[in-house]
Structure 1
Amino acid sequence: MDRVLVFSVPWLALFLVLTTTWAEDRLINPSQLEMFVDELPDMPRIHGFDVVNGVPKPKRLRIGMFKKEWKFHRDLPPTPVFAYGVSKNNATVPGPTIEAIYGVDTYVTWKNHLPSKHILPWDPTIPTAVPSTKKGIPTVVHLHGVIGEPESDGHAESWFTNRFAEKGPTWTKKTYHYRNFQQPGNLWYHDHAMGLTRVNLLAGLVGAYIIRHPKVEGPLGLPYGDEFDRTLMVFDRSFRINGSIYMNSTGNNPSIHPQWQPEYFGDAIIVNGKAWPHATVRRRKYRFRIINASNARFFRFFFTNGLRFIYVAADSVYLEEHVVTNEILLAPSEIADVVIDFSKSKSDTVILANNAKYPFPDGDPVNEANGKVMKFIIKKDKEVDTWRVPKKLIKYPSPELSSASQTRYIALYEYTSNTDEPIHLYINGKPYEEPVTETQKKGPQRYGM
């Protein structure tokens, strides 16, 4: 005889609550998410300059940080994120791509509109920006790769909270000044608050920044324009079945650091805010500025049909000569600027794949989920392609090296627990909080342009 369970209403309500809580703590299996169903987005583009009578002039921007919901995949519920944008409605993950002109100043007022409570767990036992009122999430923006004034660098202790209510000990001003007086190339901006950088980036606070130099780059004839010159920001994330970003809330050494872990690896590969997207391209050359915005994951990109990459720039500078390669290895924060000639493809579709072990180089092999990045659908008809990739790109002046007046040795110490898990890092045996021991001598700067 079958047994029938009868619940009173209070017990049924408790059962439903417990079931819901259990479900929200479960991770979604990436195999449940169909690949290549979402179209690759282009992030909004913002000019960091005005054009007056055909001449670029300095411009002032206001870009905020907002909590909102973002769809990483067609079949995932909306995900709470932190996002950059000129408004909450226009905020995206990644944030808007800022395009600047060489030698023309860009001014950005970064506005913190974040709430008091973080969407991810963070560990107060490591050096961390904590407002005295414990209200508001500290943030500060670092433009990675920039050459400029220290006050606009986004120092970890220059953080600020919503409406600048509280500020870190090295905070100096609201509006950052980017002189853009360096080689044309690719940079990226991200949160840099002390002890919160990892969780703020995982929440979504990343974006691209491009410095262009039309007089230098124009004669090269490389692919140009919104359709043919695109940024790909790649990172990994894991999700719960309710759509929220998953981050383990238990540390490797919970008796010392309750939450902190040295590395984060996600199950799904995200490109421009979508998990395993697809893009339709024409049979001609395209330029892709690929940024690895992961916390710890290396990528070794390759095409499944043998299509090759033409390397034209690395990080924030052009190469002197292009390099043709079958694969690209990118560590976190590195940028590969490549041209891909889809007219060389013998198939109408091609997968951009990854085979880098994690942690790199001796960790676990990739699986189906993190071994695929995105899919390109190639139109059948060939086209007349006016873009080219010259062998010689940008020639830089020979560096002027002076003889060193002092030789110094810098050692990085990693301290571990009894179970061989990292506890903390010291430089020359000293923690970050120690007083400065050396001051760099100020001298002339050369940017090679």
Structure 2
Amino acid sequence: MTEVIIQPEQLSAPDFGLTKFLDPLHIPPVIGPHLWWRQEEITVRALRTRVRLHSQLPETEVWAYEGEFPGPTIEVRSGKQLRVAWTNEVQGTMPLVAVQGPIAQAPGDVPGGYRDAQGNLLPGFSLIDGVADLPPWHVVHLHGAMTGGGNDGWAHNAVLPGFAQLAEYPNGQQSTTMWYHDHAMAVTRFNVHAGLAGMYLIRDAEEDALDLPHGKHEIPLILCDRNLDTDATTGRLSGRLLFKIAVAPGGAAIPFTGPFNLVNGTIWPHLDVERRWYRFRVLNAANSRFYQLNLIDEAGAKHNDAVRIIGTDGGLLPAPAELPAAGLTLAPAERADVLIDFSRFAGERLRLTDTGVTGPTEPDLMEFRVENSPRHNLFYPPAKLSVSYFRLQHGTTVPDDHDHVFVALVPPGTAGEAHPQMWELRELTAAPSVPAQGILQVKDPSTGVVRTFEKVASLFDDTTTFFIDHGRWAVWNLIHFGGPTHPVHIHMTQLQLLTRKQFPLTQGNVAGFDVTVGGTTAPLEVPPDGRPIEKYEEGWKDTFQVRAGEWVTVAGLFEGATGEFMYHCHILDHEDEGMMRPFVVHPPEVAKFHLHPGGAGHGGH
């Protein structure tokens, strides 16, 4: 092992003295039910272990499923039920150091930098109280799964060491890329950061018939970022995970981002590839970083025309889609199933790069080293992929009789609250005087009629207000009044993006929204269409990017499972800071007997 010593002049260098593309890409092992024994149950252990994120670094202590970071890929067949005993065998407390400091002094793209040579905290910095004492309290959510509420990883149902979470997954879905990760109440950001995440694949006959690249030519790419501590005296990278965040003057914590980008748990790896098509299952498993992915050569020229998107969160697209000219932006928790044609790049080195990165963080994620020898490549992406796919439309595939759910995303500082918030809304029949806290007025895009809403819940443990009948369609209206882009994840079902409209902004917030009061000053005009919905965005999904000023509608059929589920922002810092709420799916026959507090009714419609 070569120890890395950071010199002062290297603190702003994007590689921090580590050799890029030195280590081969790690491929997580594949596990699943042993069908030849008729075994439909597996045990997955959470363990404390040590891994090496780069061969020039000391080992890093992590929490990891089966001792693998990321965890092993679980592979199943559609329609084949799997029971998993998620067993907590972790010893000790949280394996990272968590610090916070002022924005000017605590950039997330620099390792260490919070202590002096004697190990004392620098002025303005403090340890995040309580993180060092956190026990391994875990609950697993299979992200994207359609399973009952008791198996979904309810945030309060975490278990301590010596106990297991027993979950049952019907896997009654089409071929798709899902992932599993910790979802414990208030500490998800720390538990996932410590290493608790892995990929889960469902296979089906429709996928088999396409004869897509498989075996060694189908590879998961799990993206995330991390920061590492340094020895205060020597400046050496210690390998210890560092969760360092900045705090704005108003008290809002800036979500974590780190200077080291990892692919499958390795910093800047390389992959030797043949001159042929490959299939990559790409997952953004970062706490908050958005990746804008492009394929470039050593001269910096883009080759996105060699890439085809064939699937999104919920499964295969109807036909391959081109990569956007500016690259594919993946928010935290989003997945992309992509094909890359390396046949025309004999002997070249290509890089998967995050062109949206800012600051000194190294934009390169990994390197592909293409063989120089000739190879006969018989595969070409089929013109049609999923024959079972259908596009959702109001009044046809989405029946006129459906529920509407309204959720407001409001900026930091709203009504004096430091962090961004997520408000559940209930429509009022009489309009109060405005502006008033929690009162929002908008004109309906389809009718132009003014609709008045009031905030009825915000924190997770507020009264449950959204109730949806099992077997019923629901359209979720996500209205973003200002602040950062939020990737909103809705549990239990797969949905499609229907519309995306855009209100005008003033200083980053919707014009007509009074941040100080926390309400609209007058009815907001009907917003015009916003960003066009790209072909690759028409697929089935469970996580949707909602930018400031956007009114996004998504629709899904809530069938196949019942219980209490969650929806939330998948920026894990935001989720833990309050941007998460429950909803209930129950049989309509039972709903007749269920007394709802406040008379919210089904889905707030």
Counterpart AA for 1:188: W
Counterpart AA for 2:170: R
Q: 2:291 touches 2:354 (CA, 8 Å); kept in 1?
A: yes
Q: 1:58 touches 1:107 (CA, 8 Å); kept in 2?
A: no
Q: Determine helix, strand or coil for the equivalent of 1:157.
A: helix
CA distance in 2, matches of 1:205, 1:403: 42
Q: 1:49 touches 1:101 (CA, 8 Å); kept in 2?
A: no
Aligned to 1:219: 209
Q: How many residues align?
A: 384
Aligned match for 2:41, one of 39, 43, 60: 60
Aligned match for 2:184, one of 183, 193, 198: 193
Q: 2:409 touches 2:420 (CA, 8 Å); kept in 1?
A: no
Q: Residue 300 of structure 1: CA displacement? A: 1.1
Aligned match for 1:422, one of 407, 419, 425: 419
Q: Determine what percentage of the aligned residue pairs are the same residue.
A: 28
Q: 2:469 touches 2:558 (CA, 8 Å); kept in 1?
A: no
Aligned to 1:180: 171
CA distance in 2, matches of 1:72, 1:28: 20
CA distance in 1, matches of 2:188, 2:381: 37
Cα distance change on mapping 1:328 and 1:347 into 2, 3 Å:
farther
Paired residues for 1:97-246 under 5 Å: 97-120=73-96, 136-164=135-163, 174-213=165-204, 215-225=205-215, 227-240=216-229, 241-246=237-242
CA distance in 2, matches of 1:105, 1:181: 8
Q: 1:48 touches 1:60 (CA, 8 Å); kept in 2?
A: yes
Q: Residue 419 of structure 1: CA displacement? A: 9.8
Aligned to 1:386: 378
Cα distance change on mapping 1:419 and 1:352 into 2, 3 Å:
farther
- Any stretches of 5+ residues in structure 2 without a counterpart? 1-6, 100-129, 230-236, 426-454, 473-556, 561-605
CA distance in 1, matches of 2:244, 2:558: 45
CA distance in 2, matches of 1:46, 1:151: 23
Q: Determine helix, strand or coil for the equivalent of 2:242.
A: coil
Counterpart AA for 1:345: F
Normalised TM-score (structure 2) = 0.59
Cα distance change on mapping 1:343 and 1:421 into 2, 3 Å:
same
Q: Determine helix, strand or coil for the equivalent of 2:16.
A: helix
CA distance in 2, matches of 1:147, 1:427: 23
Q: 1:276 touches 1:372 (CA, 8 Å); kept in 2?
A: yes
Cα distance change on mapping 1:250 and 1:408 into 2, 3 Å:
closer
Q: Residue 418 of structure 1: CA displacement? A: 10
CA distance in 2, matches of 1:251, 1:120: 19
Q: Residue 425 of structure 1: CA displacement? A: 4.7
Once the two structures are superposed, what CA deviation does each residue of 1:305-363 show, in whole Å capped at 9, x if it has no partner?
33321111111210000012253211111111111110022652111111114xxxxxx
Paired residues for 1:1-400 under 5 Å: 30-51=15-36, 57=38, 59-85=40-66, 91-120=67-96, 136-164=135-163, 174-213=165-204, 215-225=205-215, 227-240=216-229, 241-248=237-244, 251-252=247-248, 261-305=253-297, 306-307=302-303, 308-325=306-323, 327-345=327-345, 347-357=347-357, 365=358, 367=360, 369-396=361-388, 398=390, 400=397
Q: Residue 181 of structure 1: CA displacement? A: 0.4
Once the two structures are superposed, what CA deviation does each residue of 1:140-176 show, in whole Å capped at 9, x if it has no partner?
0001111111111011111111112xxxxxxxx8321
Aligned to 2:408: 411
CA distance in 2, matches of 1:135, 1:350: 42
Q: 1:82 touches 1:205 (CA, 8 Å); kept in 2?
A: yes
CA distance in 2, matches of 1:407, 1:174: 33
- Any stretches of 5+ residues in structure 1 without a counterpart? 1-22, 86-90, 124-129, 165-172, 358-364
CA distance in 1, matches of 2:559, 2:11: 48
More strand by share: 2
Normalised TM-score (structure 1) = 0.78
Once the two structures are superposed, what CA deviation does each residue of 1:250-286 show, in whole Å capped at 9, x if it has no partner?
75479x7xxx834111101100110000010110111
CA distance in 2, matches of 1:79, 1:28: 23
Q: Residue 392 of structure 1: CA displacement? A: 0.4
Counterpart AA for 1:437: T
Q: 2:346 touches 2:370 (CA, 8 Å); kept in 1?
A: no
Counterpart AA for 1:278: H
